[in-house]
Structure 1
Amino acid sequence: MKVLILAIDRDNDFGVKAGVNGPVIGREKCLDAAVKLSLADPEDSDANTLFAAIKLYDELKRSGEFEDVEVALITGHPSVGVKSDLELSRQLEEVLKVFPADGVIPVTDGAEDEQIFPIISSKVPIISSRRVVVKQSPGIETTWYIIVRYLKELLSDPEASKVFVGIPGMIVLLFGLAKLISLRYPASTQIVSSVVTGFIMLLVGGYFFVKGFKLRPIQSIAKMISRGFITFIAGLTGLIVIGVGAIKVYLTIESIAESMIGGIPSNELIALLIYINALNFYFILGLGIIALGKIIQGYLRRNFHLWYYVTALLMLPGFWIVIDVVTRYANPFIKISTTEIATKVLLVGVDLVISILIGLKLKERIKNWAIRVPSL
């Protein structure tokens, strides 16, 4: 029986650090590769894995249990996953062409390399396996050195230091300030604690949300300002109008409900319908300001999509009517006649048709205009 002792380097440390390209076949070549990696990075466990494979090769050679024994190294790719596994599979086929083994003994340094065992077993039976665990000094000095070393590496990485040092430091700082304020004003202890806790949750949650979705809010705002200052101002103004309108409606919801249904809403859903109906004006007004800013910016920059922004602005009255009718119709305390509904639907249809026709007409004219006049 021919047995292959196979050392596996899934992330190709041999290639990246020592310039050794796989596959490597034969004891002398494997020994040379292991020495090269040990010199390049004495702390890399892959070198120990290959030394262990060579040691196992020597033991099996001396024992004479098998007809023939060979040792080889296959290397993957730094991008661990499909790419590295395809490379390992290709190199294993090359090894088997040189040494057609009847069985293989994989030698690895952890569970990551063992993930390719199904690929190996699909080509040649696995008769055993060996995992190499590098021994560490149990002394306190060595443990302390390792801890300090990894802490230094952690602090040298700006992103990691923000998460593991910056955020905990900010939390401790804010709670310390809250404690000092509560000593000065004992009656405000609960308020200060709630404010600080909420502020911490807002900052930490916002940070992880931005990082998790890979958002770049500061860069996006800067890009928006540099590309279209008028659009930015109009957008900010529109959002302020919507936000202020939302606050005003919330604070005056009872008086609005009195005028609409003649009393206080009986449940939250009815109150929500009244709130949306009252907010409708501010919402459409804010969108109109945003669209108007787009139109002005598009006109100054000779933007071909100017017709699209004009069409959107013209459609806003129709949207206002739809929201108004739907929220009033869904409210059981408001009676709305069929004639009024039909009239509103007709107005919406007319608004949409006019908006689309004007938009299509503008599209053709602006297309020629944008070609004749160079962009600013």
Structure 2
Amino acid sequence: MVKMIRKMAKTVIIYIDIDDDLSLAGIKSPVIGETNVKEAIDKASEIMADDSDFNSMIVAYNIYKKMKKEGQDVEIVFLAGSQKGGLEAQRRISAQLDEIIKELNPQDSIIVYDSPEDAKALPIIQSRLKISGVQRVIVEQHRGVEETYILLGKYFKKILNEPRYSRIFLGVPGAILFAAGILEVLGLISYIVPVITILIGSAMIIRGFDLDEMMEKWWENSTIMVIAALLSSISFAISLINGYFTYISIKGNSVYVVSTVISSMLPYITFSVLILLGAKALSSALDKSIKLFHDIIKISAIIISYYIITDVLKNLEEGIYIIQFQSFYALTISSMVLIFAYIVLNLIEKYKFSSS
């Protein structure tokens, strides 16, 4: 029985489409080989002929044809990421690149791309494969009034259809309009400027630190932790609001004010921490992990600390500035018990790991 072995190419021409516009033309990536690439270009010509991505595909194919005509050992592939962008797009590029290397076993590569976003894939490729050339495609256009409208229409379509654009250009203005309407109904329209500032600032922080992708990954990996994180955030926000209104409503010396404000915030902050630890413990229980006991110890430590701190704050509010022996005794005993339990559980975990 004779097996057909694909010829290994010395150089591979890689066209990068990190935002996966190929999928809009019904093209599934990776696209490997001249025949498949020609089919992909034919499909793209019907849907995205005026797009810079299509021009980049043509440039990559022309480079491949030129090198092949010169007798060089080359192959051509198209790699696509994700319309969500960010880490998900880069990870898909990475996975497809591994597939290409496994199938073609190339020695080096020439990269073709058209946007700065696509350039994010260059370090990923360079970490696995030598890059001997890079070609960025810049399409020059004479933009009259009619062409400008066509271009704006294309970008508006991207905003409507691609999630990574719609979140910013539709989501944020939508949230601002919604908040303005609510404030108008409540007669609080004078607060619209700080509300807009908070919304825009929050959107910039979320997008800048990729918090939306982080939350999405958390949701995929552990729905329990996402729900707990939301409840924890709400509880912490309530603690800040409660502390502020307590501060502006009381009078007295500085020690009394500080202790009273902390006392008003402490239950919500404690709940905020406990719900996160509780969710983690529940996840450990579902995974049947011994680390469940570690989480239980942390929860116990938080609860004990809450009661001891509450007792101390109560004494401060009453003008008692000396820590009573009863509080110190409870703190010492509880600490010793928790430390001993933690040591025992660590020994059990090590014994279980070594025996398995």
Structure-2-length-normalised TM-score:
0.51
Q: Aligned pair in 2 of structure 1 residues 18, 153: CA closer, same or farther (>3 Å)?
A: closer
Look up the match of 1:295.
none
Alpha-carbon distance in structure 2 between the residues aligned to 1:117 and 1:279? 54
Alignment of 1:92-103 (within 5 A): 92-96=101-105
Deviation per CA, 1:180-239: give whole Å up to 9, x if none.
xxxxxxxxxxxxxxx95xx34421233245554679xxxxxxx99xx9xxxx9xx98997
Aligned pair partner of 1:206 in 195, 198, 221 = 198
| TM-score of the aligned structures, taking structure 1 as reference length | 0.49
- Distance in structure 2 (CA, Å) of the matches to 1:282 and 1:113: 51
- Distance in structure 1 (CA, Å) of the matches to 2:196 and 2:241: 25
| Cα separation, 2, equivalents of 1:9 and 1:237 | 48
Q: 1:45 to 1:283 in 2, by over 3 A?
A: closer
The one-letter amino acid paired with 1:107 is: V
Aligned to 2:79: 75
Q: 1:163 to 1:43 in 2, by over 3 A?
A: same
Find the partner of 2:99 among 90, 100, 103: 90
- CA offsets, 1:4-47, max 9 Å, x none? 46132343544564234434123x43212211233344344333
CA contact (8 A) 1:45 1:134 kept: yes
Partners of 1:277 and 1:21 lie apart in 2 by 66
C-alpha separation between the residues in 1 aligned to 2:128 and 2:266?
61
Instruction: Find the counterpart in structure 1 of residue 30 from structure 2.
Output: 22
For residue 81 of structure 2, give the secondary structure of its aligned residue in structure 1.
coil
Task: Give the counterpart of 2:52 among 45, 48, 56.
Answer: 45
CA-CA distance at 1:69 after TM superposition? 4.8
Residues 348-370 of structure 1: CA deviation (Å, up to 9, x unaligned):
3367689x7xxxxxxxxxxxxxx
Aligned residue number for residue 107 of structure 1: 112
In structure 2, the CA distance between the partners of 1:149 and 1:111, relative to structure 1 (3 Å rule), is closer
Residues 40-94 of structure 1 deviation map (CA, whole Å, 9 limit, x = unaligned): 44344333323223323444455xxx44353411424323224422422430442
Match of 2:89, SS state, is coil
CA drift at 1:284: 4.1
Q: Secondary structure at the match of 2:13?
A: strand
- Counterpart-to-counterpart distance in 1, 2:317 and 2:47: 69
Distance 1:123 1:281 in 2: 62
Q: Is the 8 A contact 1:5 1:104 kept in 2?
A: yes
Q: Where does the alignment leave 5 or more consecutive residues of structure 1 unmatched? A: 175-194, 216-222, 257-273, 292-304, 329-340, 357-376
1:160 match: 169
Determine if the alignment matches structure 1 residue 139 to structure 2 residue 131: no
Q: 1:142 Cα shift?
A: 1.2
Cα pair distance change 1:94/1:345, threshold 3 Å: same
Distance 1:288 1:116 in 2: 47
* Distance in 2 separating the partners of 1:39 and 1:237: 57
For residue 38 of structure 2, the aligned residue among 18, 31, 52 is 31
Give unpaired runs (5+ residues) of structure 2: 1-8, 83-87, 184-188, 213-226, 271-298, 335-356
State the alpha-carbon separation in 2 of the partners of residues 129 and 310 from structure 1: 61
RMSD, aligned α-carbons: 5.3
Match of 1:321 in 2: 315
Determine if contact 2:81/2:91 at 8 Å carries over to the other structure. Answer: no
For the pair shown, the structure with the greater C-alpha radius of gyration is: 1
What is the aligned length? Answer: 260
**Which secondary structure state, in structure 2, belongs to the residue aligned with residue 280 of structure 1?**
helix
Distance, in Å, in 2 between the alignment partners of 1:310 and 1:117 is 52
Partner of 2:255: 276
